[in-house]
Structure 1
Amino acid sequence: MLEAAVELAERLGFSSFTMRDVAVAAGVSLGTLQYFYPSKDELVRAVALELADQVVQVAGQLPPGATDMRGVAGLDNLLTQAVESWWGIISSTPTRRLVTYEIATNGIRGGGPILDTALLQYRLNTAYITAMLVTCAEVARVNWAIDVDELGLFAMNFMDGYVLRWLLEPEASPASAQRRTLVKAIVAFAVEGDAT
């Protein structure tokens, strides 16, 4: 049912399909769908969480040989691989990314449960990035010179704008050099020494 909702959201936009459309696409009765998702707002929330989770599951894995990457140079390597892994997922699923922006836009316009969902998806994505920064620093045995939550928010804001620009102009997509600049900007806040 959830995958059917994701596919409809990708194809039509989440505001253009009904609960009945999802039930038909999933091959279940409307009552069955409403048992699991009593309202469309709850279904949209589940879609947003599913989309965030798909990125986290794949991009959150440390690369092979990560435990040998030490110091600022090792951190640079870890973050480069993490950002490229993230970009591989994002760039292969543009319509899914569009759904996340649609949820955010509708939340800003309408408030209520959709705004709560949009805020949740952004907070989860920021928490994922922050956790990745913590893990990479621990593996590389470096410390952050600034608050890691602030650094995670900075990275999230950059990535969000990067993806939005790419969705607007896919043929003039942001160069990989910009992703490299992000990594260099983050690494600039790393200092040698065991992470605390």
Structure 2
Amino acid sequence: MSSKLPLDERRAQLLESALELADRGGIGEVTTRAVAAAAGVSTGVVHYCFEGKEQLLTAMAERLIAELSESAHRTYAAARDTPQVTGRQGLCELIRTGLAGAWATIEANPNRRLLTYEITTHALRHRAAGSPLAGAVADEQYRIIAAEATAFLDECAHRTDTAWTEPVPSVARLGLSALDGLVLRWLVDRDSDVIGRELDILAHAVADKAVETTRLTAAPERPEGADRAGW
């Protein structure tokens, strides 16, 4: 057995072992015995740190949520560092840069993304069976990512002198839902050759929900003879 650690450190160690197991073989591989063996501790230590598998899975989901949030924050921060662009074309370029950064993270660790979906599905099944805590984990995952995307789209519009024609949270939800679909399709066929074109289409579809603010604020054209007509 490994040396004694403070409870927080031991929980973190067990959580990392559980995530490594799940990355390789899915959440079905996460058992008390397997986690204990991977961490080099007794099963009693696992039971002491986590009341049961569901509590451990909840902790895993919370870690994945934190990772997704951090990844989204880094991706959007990188997009903010791009040269100044304006108009809907500029907005599209910023969105495309953000999507490219997000996709690079997905392709770098597809098993982790697959695990995210697996745990989300597991949580939703348990919510349907009467476990509100499991459902809350799934809700929190999408709430945090939507908040990051909404803030990013707000800033993109501000930087490019554009304005959204629909509520920004709705635009973010639409874009994230489409991205989820692309991720799931790619996890099935791993066809990276077409992803670039599909991300271009998605970026344009999202940017189409905005207009250039100069068009909104420009003074109306004066018709011929306007002075005589009392303009």
- TM normalised by structure 2 equals 0.72
Query: How far off its partner does 1:3 sit?
Result: 2.4
2:85 corresponds to which letter in structure 1? M
Task: Establish whether residue 13 from structure 1 lines up as the match of residue 26 from structure 2.
Answer: yes
Identity %, equivalent residues: 33
2:86 aligned to which of 67, 70, 90: 70
8 A contact 2:163–2:212 mirrored in 1: yes
Aligned mates of 1:73, 1:162 — CA distance in 2: 23
SS of the aligned residue for 1:66 comes to coil
Aligned residue pairs, count: 194
Aligned mates of 1:130, 1:86 — CA distance in 2: 15
Query: How far off its partner does 1:37 sit?
Result: 4.1
Query: How far off its partner does 1:174 sit?
Result: 4.5
Aligned mates of 2:20, 2:85 — CA distance in 1: 39
Higher mean alpha-carbon deviation, 122-131 vs 58-67, is at 58-67
Aligned residue number for residue 121 of structure 2: 105
1:116 aligned to which of 125, 132, 136: 136
Deviations 1:148-167 (A, max 9, x none): 11111101110111111111
1:182 aligned to which of 197, 202, 218: 202
Name which one, 1 or 2, has greater alpha-carbon Rg. Answer: 2
Aligned mates of 1:167, 1:10 — CA distance in 2: 14
SS of the aligned residue for 2:78 comes to coil
Aligned mates of 2:157, 2:42 — CA distance in 1: 49
Aligned mates of 2:163, 2:47 — CA distance in 1: 48
Task: Establish whether residue 92 from structure 1 lines up as the match of residue 83 from structure 2.
Answer: no
Aligned residue number for residue 45 of structure 1: 58
**1:49 to 1:70, Cα distance in 2 relative to 1, 3 A:** farther
Query: How far off its partner does 1:145 sit?
Result: 0.8
Query: How far off its partner does 1:119 sit?
Result: 2.5
Query: How far off its partner does 1:79 sit?
Result: 0.8
5+ residue gaps, structure 2, are 1-12, 215-231
- TM normalised by structure 1 equals 0.84
**1:150 to 1:64, Cα distance in 2 relative to 1, 3 A:** closer
